[in-house]
Amino acid sequence: MSGDPKLERIAQGNALALCATGTWTASFAPVLERIVADAEKLAGGSQSIFIDVSEIAKLDTFGAWLIERLRRSLTQGAVEAQIAGLSANYSSLVDEVRRVRANAVVDRSPITITGMLEQIGRAVAGVAATVAGLVDMLGAVLAAGARTLIHPRSFRLTSTVHHMEQVCWRAVPIVVLITFLIGCIIAQQGIFHFRRFGADLFVVDMLGVLVLREIGVLLVAIMVAGRSGSAYTAELGSMKMREEIDALRTMGFDPIEVLVLPRMLALVLALPILAFLGAMAALYGGGLVAWLYGGVQPEAFLLRLRDAISIDHFIVGIVKAPVMAAVIGIVACVEGLAVQGSAESLGQHTTSSVVKGIFFVIVMDGVFAIFFAAIGM
């Protein structure tokens, strides 16, 4: 009795019987859908139709619904359609399906020009909201910092030290390695091109100024945004998803004070240290390449470096580090706390944390360049 489902037509005068046989289950759903669609078309002309289901071997929701769908579409065509021969086992299933409202299918909204314009508008308005969010967070962090200064016992030292380890100590190997390689590359490129003018030694000037003023801190800030900014966003975001942040709030803790402040502080302390280590590694790498590839003796390199750069270059570089750290931290925390309930939202905010973090770091670098040029440093 089991096997492929079929729907046979048996004409009886004015009436028509549709005799369903076989297995009417989910596995045969594609076949069943076709059979039912055919039957809907062919059934015209008769006044009353019996759908005989007594020979059905196995029925599940899919089969029951398709029979119900057939019955409904026949009834709509002013035909009297009835389901007959329902066994006791399946009658409750068919009753269940009969209660379903079919016209609940929702149209998906089509892509329109106004829709696209609306999206652009929303994105532009979103920029203002982003800036407002950052300023808001900056204020909240400063307020929390001030409260902590007044009540130093509420400061979370353990948490800060833990985050220092995560963002500073554990970042040292990768930061040093990458800046070392960048130093090597700058020196090699410099020597390669300067040699044509016989200006080999000027590579030391270029390396010193570039690394201490710009590359060192900018590169490290970008790496930290990618490495620690994303981690902050993911941590805070998943805490938000699991209502941990709400839990903190109801216990009378300020999430900014408990979660954001230690992270911000750790980052603000970590970035100058990493920038310094990165600059040293880059200078070392550059010196090594200058010696091995360019034939500049280490003594000559150091002598030239001392003439070429002053403490101002170093200060210009290192002063930027805590500000960039603050920008990265604020962006990461704002994004983390903006995560909604879904895994997709967590991914989107982590991405946007890194993208915005790097963008604002570069903007800040430009602002600093104008500022230092104006004060003549």
Partner 1 sequence: MAGEIQNVVQDPIIRVRDITVQFGTTRVLDGLNLDVERGEILGFVGPSGAGKSVLTRTIIGLVPKVAGSIEVFGVDLDSSSTSQRRNVERRWGVLFQQGALFSSLTVRQNIQFPMREYLRVSQRLMDEITMAKLAMVGLKPEVAERFPSELSGGMIKRVALARALSLDPDLVFLDEPTSGLDPIGAGDFDELVRTLQRTLGLTVFMVTHDLDSLYTACDRIAVLGNGKIIAAGSIADMQASQHPWLRQYFHGKRARAVMG
Which token pair is 124? 């532009």
Rounded least distance, CB 83 to partner 1, Å: 16
Q: In the set 41, 45, 78, 105, which binds partner 1 (CB under 8 A)?
A: 105
Determine the size of the site formed for partner 1 (CB under 8 A): 30
Give the list of residues 6+ apart from residue 189 with CB closer than 8 angstroms, or none.
Answer: none
- Provide the 10 A C-beta neighbour count for residue 228: 27
Q: Min. distance of Cβ 98 from partner 1 in angstroms?
A: 10
Of 107 and 299, the one with the shorter C-beta distance to partner 1 is 107
Residue 351 as a binder of partner 1 (CB under 8 A): the answer is no
Binding mask 26-65 for partner 1 (x = CB under 8 A): xx-xx--x--------------------------xxx--x
Confirm or reject binding of residue 341 to partner 1 (CB under 8 A).
Answer: yes
Strand partners for 18: 9, 51
Is 100 among the residues that bind partner 1 (CB under 8 A)?
yes
Q: What's the token pair of residue 300?
A: 């000559």
Q: Which is nearer to partner 1, 26 or 174 (CB)?
A: 26
Residue 335 beta carbon to partner 1: minimum distance, rounded to whole angstroms = 17
Asked if residues 318 and 276 have their Cβ atoms less than 8 Å apart, the reply is yes
Per-position x/- string for 2-31, each x denoting binding to partner 1 as judged by CB under 8 A, each - no binding: -----------------------xxx-xx-
Which of 112, 128, 152, 344 touches partner 1 by CB under 8 A? 344
Q: In whole angstroms, how close is the CB of 101 to partner 1 at the nearest point?
A: 6
CB of 26 to partner 1, least distance (A): 5
* Interface with partner 1 (CB under 8 A), residue from 13, 78, 101, 250: 101
Q: Is 99 in the site for partner 1 (CB under 8 A)?
A: yes
Residues that bind partner 1 (CB under 8 A): 25-27, 29-30, 33, 60-62, 65-66, 69, 89, 92-93, 96-97, 99-102, 104-106, 340-345
